């Protein structure tokens, strides 16, 4: 296998792994030799993902993880260390969307929900992942932000604010821990056809959304996961503090 894509024996923790980017990334890294610890708030569904991979001979385990709870995020790292001895790669992918609302209609409960999952969930994950990586001499963290985290997010103000915060956590962590051989980056997808989009946007709305994309279509989840794999490559050793857009050209327009 090409060294750029060789994840043999790398221990990978992925949150939000029951569907969407998380599930596809787990499957992609499994094909490349990784050992997986998968978490999701949907315990039955994430265990189904892990069981399917295990049936193919992959070292994969799953547990329920509500990332808004600090102890759940710690449990994922603890499980990885107990079963596999270390955490080489961590992907803080779990997140939630919000209803389309103008900024003045966003109430406190929506802000609290967004920051509990999309911000605290990333910080809780990083806290325990970094603690373990410091002990073992390095590691690689990828946070899933959004194009909404690097620009305006009309009608998605709470979500956009939370995803901007993910960028802040990513850059701060990258600077603080670079000297410890811990790389921290973020990926910033635009609208891609994961359940987070398809569950709230019908075909008509998806068509409208695609009009702002220079490529005139929404992204396929696999197109985002390809970049996630490249950013996580064990051969990619000098990239840190970067927030990479995968958006069909939206951020360039």
Residue 210 corresponds to which tokens in the numbers above? Answer: 């695609």
Considering the candidates 7, 159, 177, 191, report the single residue annotated as catalytic. 159
Beta strands in 89-153 (DSSP E): 89-92, 139-144
Question: To 10 degrees, the CA torsion angle through 193, 199, 200, 202?
Answer: 70
CB 170 within 8 A of CB 241: yes
Q: At what angle do helices 43-54 and 20-31 cross, to 10 degrees?
A: 20
* Displacement of CA 132 from its chain's centroid (Å): 19
Q: CA dist 96 to 12, 116, 146, 195, Å?
A: 22, 10, 12, 10
Decide: residue 121, CB within 10 A, 0-12 exposed, 13-18 middle, 19+ buried: buried
Helix, coil or strand: residue 140: strand
Beta strands in 16-131 (DSSP E): 35-40, 60-64, 89-92
Q: At what angle do helices 157-177 and 120-136 cross, to 10 degrees?
A: 20
Residue 166 corresponds to which tokens in the numbers above? Answer: 């993910």
Q: Is 177 a catalytic residue?
A: no
State the catalytic residues: 159
């Amino acid at each position: 296998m090409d060294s750029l894509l060789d994840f043999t024996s790398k221990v990978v923790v992925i949150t939000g792994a029951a569907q969407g980017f998380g599930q596809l990334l787990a499957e992609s890294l499994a094909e490349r030799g990784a050992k997986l610890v998968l978490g999701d708030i949907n315990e039955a569904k994430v265990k189904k993902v892990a069981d399917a991979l295990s049936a193919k001979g992959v070292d994969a385990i799953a547990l329920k993880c509500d990332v808004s709870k600090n102890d759940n995020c710690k449990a994922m790292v603890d499980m990885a260390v107990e079963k596999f001895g270390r955490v080489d790669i961590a992907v803080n992918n779990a997140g939630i969307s919000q209803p389309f609302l103008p900024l003045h209609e966003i109430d406190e409960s929506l802000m609290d929900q967004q920051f509990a999952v999309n911000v605290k969930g990333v910080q809780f994950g990083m806290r325990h992942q970094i603690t373990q990586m410091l002990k073992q001499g390095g590691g690689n963290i990828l946070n899933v932000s959004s194009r909404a985290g690097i620009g305006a997010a009309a009608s998605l103000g709470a979500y956009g604010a939370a995803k901007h915060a993910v960028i802040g956590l990513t850059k701060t962590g990258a600077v603080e821990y670079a000297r410890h051989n811990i790389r921290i980056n973020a990926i910033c997808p635009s609208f891609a056809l994961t359940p987070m989009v398809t569950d709230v946007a019908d075909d008509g709305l998806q068509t409208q959304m695609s009009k702002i994309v220079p490529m005139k279509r929404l992204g396929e989840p696999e197109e985002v996961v390809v970049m996630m794999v490249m950013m996580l490559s064990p051969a990619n050793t000098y990239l840190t503090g970067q927030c990479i857009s995968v958006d069909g050209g939206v951020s360039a327009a």
